[in-house]
Structure 1
Amino acid sequence: MESKKKVSFTKMHGAGNDYVYVNAMEVIPDNLPHLSRQISDRHFGIGSDGLVVIMRSETADFRMRMFNADGSEAEMCGNASRCIGKYVYEKGLTAKTVVTLETLAGIKVLRLEVVDGEVVTVTVDMGEPELRPAAIPVISSDSSAKISEAETVGDNTYLITAVSMGNPHAVVFTDTLDDSLVCGDGPRLECAPIFPDRANIEFARIIDRNTIEMRVWERGSGKTLACGTGACATVVAAVLNGLADRHATVRLLGGDLEITWDEKSNHVFLKGGAEFIADGEFILRGDAGAPENPAKSVK
């Protein structure tokens, strides 16, 4: 009998945003979108918001490829980036406490806070928020930032602020947050015609100028407990709308994230913890197990 192909994995979460991490420094599994769909299934797989592959990089210390639960590849994930920082340090892949990470949204810098050999928090320099409609992308009648503009889905009209943190976001400020809102109009806004690449949808309630409660409908994964890039986009949107200061705590279903939009550099910083959940082996089904050639070098 032919032996079944297996992939070693680690499951982690950042503020409840759970992903399966695969160390592909030596061998990269083939058909990563298919693998992500298998692994992410919460009944027939491991169960996760998606798949994160840690690879060699020719331009940074490590490279991240991130796939949503539906198999679509995302440009960036803030919570996954923090988890990678903890993973590479505590798994002995690096001794650095400042780590560079190659992503489809550019190279990000991770600063690790280490106490007695354990990474307790990771701060990610997320770079500058992108507000130009064509670069987000969002379809707009002009080239100016899309701040608090009306968009109708179904019977409801929302004022959205569009921001890219390396991936597209639409932030809606509301007085109430519940599943009927997130799961009802979240998927409709995600696929609204104004978003040619779809969008992550954040519904946010202002508590005070330094505290925001947020719920998210993630592009390609649906309702999740947290979204790091979404928390960043929400603070940027709140500042643009005059609702919050540049440093704020974003409260999510899975925990709190600290966001700072630095006025001098224009960079957004995301700070929070990361946790290991489990290590194991996943039994592949179908054609997801053939290896690719790994990248040549890591710095």
Structure 2
Amino acid sequence: MRIPFIKMHGLGNDFVVLDARADALPEMTRAKAKALADRNTGIGCDQLILLQPATDGSLADFRMRIFNHDGGEVEACGNASRAVALLHGTSARVETASGTISLTPSEGGASVDMGAPRFDWDAIPLDQPLDTMHMPVGWEALEAPDAVNVGNPHVVFFVDDEHTVELDRLGPLIEHDPLFPDRVNVNVASVSSGAISLRVWERGAGLTRACGTGACATAVAAIRRKLVTSPVAVHLPGGTLTIDWHPGGTITMSGPAQESFRGSFEWDDFG
């Protein structure tokens, strides 16, 4: 079976998009998603995105499923949401594993209503009750982080210089710490002149050039700590996102997305 795909990216965080809204595909498995995401023997991507009909068409226009580079299915991806908005071409309500989000395409990108952040320890989730604004935990020099769930779990460390952190070494240690039963995305950020500079270790994907949900979680944490005001620019290695959030409201993320190329593959060649 020959399957078409669209390769897209948001600030260098790249995706293989399979559009199965009109023509159904066989069941996606962890092994197949991992094989397609492999940069040496597959198409190559940070995340595989599968578009399908909505479970309930009265609540959403279509469904988006997200598979990380390791093949595991996750709840949310902000950069992929912008890419899908660009691909869809008009405003849409999209069903995800973390709830329904709203997409609005714009020139060269999109704005995404990512929903309201969650801060309760059991909504992150953590394995024990802790203050999620200044968690009394640390890993070497990384201490007292915030924990925020923005559709997927994040821990945010504010440091003087995010470039000095050995995130490729500490990221997987924190991601797999027993404190986080669903694992966690790891953000290290510095604040200067009212803007945020950010690096992210993504759960199941590793270091990426950009992470939309990481930018949302970090902006929310910085606003809660009164380090910045909304809207705030979040600078990532791949480029800049604008995050708008006020306590009690939902998060709006705005930024670019781009289609790279299209192709096709044989379904049975992978996984």
* CA distance in structure 2 between the partners assigned to 1:146 and 1:80 by the alignment: 27
Deviation string 1:118-175 (CA, Å, 9 cap, x unpaired) is x423111111110001011023435xx411223233x444221000001100000111
Alpha-carbon displacement from aligned partner over 1:227-277 (angstroms, at most 9, x marks no partner): 1111000011111222111210000111100000034x5111000111001
Name the SS for the 2:178 alignment partner.
Answer: coil
Cα offset, 1:286, TM superposition: 5.6
Q: Please, which runs of 5 or more residues in structure 2 have no aligned partner?
A: none
Alpha carbons 1:31, 1:287 under 8 Å: kept: no
Q: Which residue of 2 aligns with 1:283?
A: 266
2:18 corresponds to: 22
How do residues 114-263 of structure 1 correspond to structure 2 at under 5 angstroms? 119-142=107-130, 145-153=131-139, 155-178=140-163, 181-209=166-194, 211-263=195-247
Cα offset for 1:178? 2.9
Confirm or deny: 8 A CA contact 2:36 2:270 kept in the other structure. Answer: no
The alignment yields a C-alpha RMSD, in angstroms, of 1.7
Stretch of structure 1 that moved more, 22-31 or 128-137: 22-31
TM-score normalised by the chain length of structure 2: 0.93
Q: What's 2:9 paired with?
A: 13
Structure 2 partner of 1:112: 105
4+ long deviations beyond 6 Å = none
* 8 Å CA contact retained: 2:82, 2:111: yes
Q: Which has the larger radius of gyration?
A: 1
Q: Is the 8 A contact 1:190 1:199 kept in 2?
A: yes
CA distance in 1 between partners of 2:164 and 2:152 (Å): 23
Shift of 1:281: 1.0
CA contact (8 A) 2:49 2:64 kept: yes
Alpha-carbon offset, residue 84 of structure 1: 0.6
C-alpha contact 2:35 2:270 (8 A) present in aligned 1: no
Aligned length: 267
TM-score normalised over the length of structure 1: 0.85
Identical columns (%): 38
Q: Are the counterparts in 2 of residues 218 and 224 from structure 1 also a CA contact under 8 Å?
A: yes
Q: Does 1:37 align with 2:34?
A: yes
Cα distance in 1 between the residues matched to 2:213 and 2:146: 14
Structure 1's unaligned 5+ residue stretches are: 90-96, 114-118, 289-299
- Structure with more relative contact order (C-alpha pairs < 8 Å, separation 6 or more): 1
**Counterpart secondary structure, 2:117:** coil
